[in-house]
Every structure is written in C-alpha cells, then in structure tokens.
Chains A and B, each alone.
Chain A
Amino acid sequence: MDEEYDAIVLGTGLKECIISGMLSVSGKKVLHVDRNKYYGGESASICPLEELFSKFGVPPPDESYGRGRDWNVDLIPKFLMANGSLVKLLIHTGVTRYLEFKSVEGSYVYKAGKISKVPVDQKEALASDLMGMFEKRRFRNFLIYVQDFNQQDPKSWKDFDPNTQNMQALYDKFGLDRNTQDFTGHALALHRDDDYLNRSAIETIDRIKLYSDSLARYGKSPYLYPMYGLGELPQGFARLSAIYGGTYMLDKPIDEIVLGEGGRVVGVRSGDEMAKCKQVYCDPTYVPDKVRKTAKVVRCVCLLDHPVANTKDALSTQIIIPQKQVGRSSDIYVSLVSYTHQVAAKGWFIAMVSTTVETDNPEAEIKPGLDLLGTIRQKFVSVSDYFEPNEDGVQSQIFVSQSYDATTHFETTCLDVLDIFKRGTGEEFDFSKIKHELGDEEQ
C-alpha cells in the first residue's frame, strides 16, 4: 500500500467504481480501497441469502427458500433505462461485455387502489382501463401530438409554444383530466413531484419521448435489469479500472484521510501504512464531517413466493404510485425481479418498495406499496440518510459522491459521476481512450 498514486478511491459502490474506471482509463494511477471484504458497498447484491437475514438480525431462512447461494439481493433497487445514460456509459466503456441484461416485463401505475399497465402507444391507450372512453380519445390525441412533435419544426407545435408555455397549459389544451395528468407526469415523464406542471412543457415532452425511445428498444417496458443483480455493475466497472492498471484492495480499514498544506489531501492511512495521493474520491461514509443530511429514503426488501396480482404474473415489473393518489408529495416506487434474473431461488420473487421519507413513521408511508404485494414471506426495512457533500472538493481535492436517491433508475447516478469526474480532472471524460479492439472484435 505504501506507494504514491494519482488518486485513491474509497468505497466500491457503483459511483466510485465508475469513477475509478474512468480515472484509470484516463491514464491515472489509481488505488481503490474498500473497508468491506466484498465489492459494491451500498450497491452490492447480498449473497448468500443467509447473509441478508443475518444483516437484518433475522433468524436464518428455512429450506423453503432453496439454496442460499442462488440469491443475490440488491440493497438499493434500480432499473436501467434502455436508452438512458448508464446504458450509454456501459456501452462506451465496453463494460457491457461482462454483463447480461433482461428487459423488465411491464410498467404499471397505481390509481384508486388498483394498478394498471402504463399505456405507451395509441393501441394500449385505447385498451387501457385507466381512462373513460372520451378521455382515451383525448389522451390518444395527446400522444400523437408528442410523437409528431419536432423541436426543429414549429409547425409540429400546433399553435403551442412549448418553450414559454407550461405543461399544465399543454394538458389543458388537450383537455386531459387530473388522473391522466398524474400517470403521464409520473409514470411516463418520470417526475417525482408536481413542480413540473409550472415549468415549460418542452421538458416533459422530451421525457415522454425518451421514455418511448427506451421502450422502443425491447418493447415491454423501457427498463433493463442485469442478470445476477445490480451488484454486477460496480464489479464490471471495477474490472474496467483493473484492466487499465487500477490496484484493488478490499477488506482494508481506512483510519485517516491525511491533509497537508492548505487543507489539501496528501494521502490515506490504514494502520501504520500510508498511501500518498493527489486526490481522493469517496462515498459519504468515508468523510462524515464533509457531508450533510438532506433527506431520508425508506426501502423495504420483500421476499415473495408468488408474482404480484394484476401484473399478468410478470417476472419483473415496476409499479409507480403517484404521490397524489395516496396523499403524499413524493411518489412511491415498487420494483420486482425474480428467479429468472438469477437473484432468487426457483419460484421466488424479490420486491422492493421505496420512497422519500416525509413523516416520523417511514414504514407506514410505504404501506400502499406493500399492500399491492399480497402475502410477504419476509421483509427487511431500512431507512437511510441521503447525504450530499458540503463542498465541491476543489480546495481539498477530496471529491465526495451523493448517496443513492429514491429514484428507481440510474439517471441521477450517472449525472453525479460525470459531474465529479469533471470537478476532479477539470475535463470531460474522453471515451475514445478506451481500447475497443480488446475482446469483442475478434469474431
């Protein structure tokens, strides 16, 4: 360990692994350390199942759960948008070649106590039970408008200025009722609250288009999920870093981040070993004094031995409960994966319910989500603080990532990573540094 590095990365969560990969690819000498003896930190998938039970202090699983080794349970639920930024990062870094994905089967939205498939094209809109007959017509017209909308061609704007007029005005133009607005804004445009209604319509039009672009990749939903769980993602990026020379040390406690002149970092100490460096990149848990709590996220892992009702027995799905439907100000997300993703023993499903905490009783807040799941064989509730760094790191050269938010996708994760990379190196990441001749070109 007693060597000198350009950068030391602390923690092997997804963000840190992506950063580590990008730094190594950019020619930096990187030491990547984790205090745990496994990869992934908070974004690990826990294996075997016994480990998950003991982590939450629950008596070990009985034999009905099958082989413990067949389980890989995520601690943070997220899906990849098929056309989103993480998929782009994966492709451009070549990390895709270490991973396999499955398309998530369906996307559902909650209305008045029951769930319905999110309609994504005109045909589905007409068949949907989310709307009455006349409303369907109006929604169909709205979808056609969005589909034909072309930012370059004001004729396609149809007497509406999406740059100056807000989204509420666009809904009103098509006479869409509150319910339709709700699932459009939250399940298609993926807004977390209703502030978007007062912002210019172009933002939401773009998001709906992006949703349908992602959907167009594989059909059933815009989301992808990696085989063996999300924990594969940090490992894939760690491998990228390693093949470009990054050094990996797991199971290594960090005792001190050593500062020098002007409060600039000069190294990292573990016991009586000290690694020198010019920069440190880390997750909030390594620098408790440099971050502030901004919110709490509640997450509940539920093990089920059956699919979720009214999803056509989907083996994977996402359900969005728009805030208004349950009198809240942030949405509740439910995501479901199963044995077909090699994350559970045969016949088992893993559901995760999560939201941003708004009260003193977080577990009660996710009840509408839990109620959709039917009999839950075992559940594990956790409430985690959401941390943000106090400073941009330029002075100390210690760059801290934000915690994982309640969104069930990776868009914000990628933005944070790219932003940190830019702050740390003063430049945008150059994807052309990746040698693509390795491996997949051979055929």
Chain B
Amino acid sequence: MSTRTGAAQRPNGSTQGKICQFKLVLLGESAVGKSSLVLRFVKGQFHEYQESTIGAAFLTQTVCLDDTTVKFEIWDTAGQERYHSLAPMYYRGAQAAIVVYDITNQDTFGRAKTWVKELQRQASPTIVIALAGNKQDLANKRMVEYEEAQTYADENGLLFIETSAKTAMNVNDIFLAIVDELDENVEVPGPNSNKLSKFSLLNKTVGVLSKALFAKIVFPISINRKDSIISCDPSL
C-alpha cells in the first residue's frame, strides 16, 4: 500500500539561479526506516511492508530554495551495515549524514551513537550530522525518550528531530534543516560569487563518466578476442 502526499518541491525545468549538489548518507540499524525516509522525501510515498534495501541505493532529489537549486544525492547503506562492512567510499565526500534510530527500540539508539562516532572518525570534519528518531507515529510504544536524544544531540553538535516516514511528519523538515546548516557552513558570498560552489562535485576532474558522454563511442561494446566476451544492447 502506498500513499502519495506532497514531496518536497521539484524543479520546474527552468534553471535560474545557482545549483549545488550535496552528497547525503544515511546510517542506522536495519529496519529503523532509512529507506522509508528517503522514499517519503523523494517520492512522497510510504510502504507498510518496505523490503530490506535492495536495488535502490542511490537516489537524487532536487529542492528549490530561493534562487538556489539544491540537488541531494542520497546514499542508502544497501545492507552493507549488517555486518559492519561499510566501505570508506560510502562516507567519502559526504557533506551531510542522517543517522536514524527507531524510537520504539533502545538498541537502535545505541547503534546510532556508534555511527555518529564512526562518522566523526571517518568522514570529513565539516560534515553536517542529523539524528532522526523515526517512527514517531508509534510514540505510544516509545522506548527512547525525546529529552535523552535531544541532550545527546546537543552534546555532540547534531541536528535532532523526530520523524515519521509513515505520516510524513518532519521528513521534509529534516532535509531542509540540513540545507540550512550547510548553507551556514559556507563563507558569506560576494554579490556575484557562486554561493555554495565549494560543493559542486564535478569541476576539474574528468568527472563522472556519464553515459551521455560515452554513448557515442562505447556502444555497441565488444571485446574482440577469440572467445568474444561482452556484448551489449546499445539501447541501454
């Protein structure tokens, strides 16, 4: 079953103003609702029986704020956290992280604290970390007190908010709060300078080898060796 309510604003095609891109990673114990939060934010949907994440580990969502277009590149853990086997690549270059726990499960709060430590150790020192106490709609089964989490967040300089992917409560808010915070991390821009430009991901490097860039030359692919190995449909 899925319900659709207003997702965050989408781009309307006209690209006036500045564009910036953020990489945002999600962390937290299995089944706390990481994927559900993303699904709510990106598609405005909720699935009662959300499967453990497979296949949908990289989503983007664009939000327009004033004259700035913010593009979130959202990384979900893809189950690598199950045995604590996340690759450093996951944190690499992330400007923001949402660490999620389930307010009805004390263990997941303990794990969330471990993830915060891990981020402080592995990720960029300027990363913005938000703590999300999810499944707020189940507050009658609450095991983690609001104040306890708030105190912990304050002590560690984290944004904190309780959310419900189910009712959509505070979901857009947490992403927007992150944008605000990221915004503050950037020096005050001059009149014509590109605000937030330090986050643009692709300058200088060859960049992501985009399909468009290679489409012309790469298809159809074949490795001409006696036992021809790959063959591929150019219409991919």
Contacts and interface: CB of A to CB of B under 8 A. Distances in A.
Contacts of B53: 243
A16 B45 CA distance: 36
Contacts of A418: 223, 229-230
A83 interface: yes
Interface in A88-114: 88-92, 96-103
Nearest to B214: A91
A293 interface: no
Contact of A235 (B88, B208, B227): B88
B127 to A, nearest CB: 14
A91 B225 CA distance: 20
Contacts of B208: 96-97, 99-100, 440
B43 to A, nearest CB: 11
Interface stretch (B79-87, B142-150, B172-180): B79-87
Given A87-B209, A91-B214, A429-B230, A232 B89 contact: yes
A228 to B, nearest CB: 6
Nearest to B207: A100
Interface in A395-440: 414-415, 418-419, 422, 428-429, 431-432, 435-436, 438-440
Interface string A288-323: 000000000000000000000000000000000000
Interface string B175-213: 000000000000000000000000001101111111100
Interface stretch (B58-66, B102-110, B153-161): B58-66
Nearest to B92: A228
A239 B77 CA distance: 9
B230 A85 contact: yes
A206 B224 CA distance: 10
A5 to B, nearest CB: 14
A346 B45 CA distance: 46
A71 interface: no
Interface in B73-123: 73, 78-80, 82-85, 87-90, 92
B236 A431 contact: yes
B55 A236 contact: no
Contacts of A100: 201-202, 205-208
Given A100-B206, A242-B78, A432-B236, A88 B218 contact: yes
A442 interface: yes
B56 interface: yes
A245 B60 contact: no
A194 to B, nearest CB: 21
B1 interface: no
A47 B92 CA distance: 13
Contact of B89 (A98, A217, A247, A435): A98
Interface of B: 53-62, 71, 73, 78-80, 82-85, 87-90, 92, 201-202, 204-211, 214, 217-218, 221, 223-225, 227, 229-233, 236
17 contacts: A91-B218, A92-B230, A97-B58, A98-B58, A100-B205, A206-B224, A217-B217, A224-B206, A236-B89, A238-B80, A242-B79, A243-B58, A245-B54, A418-B230, A431-B233, A438-B55, A438-B56
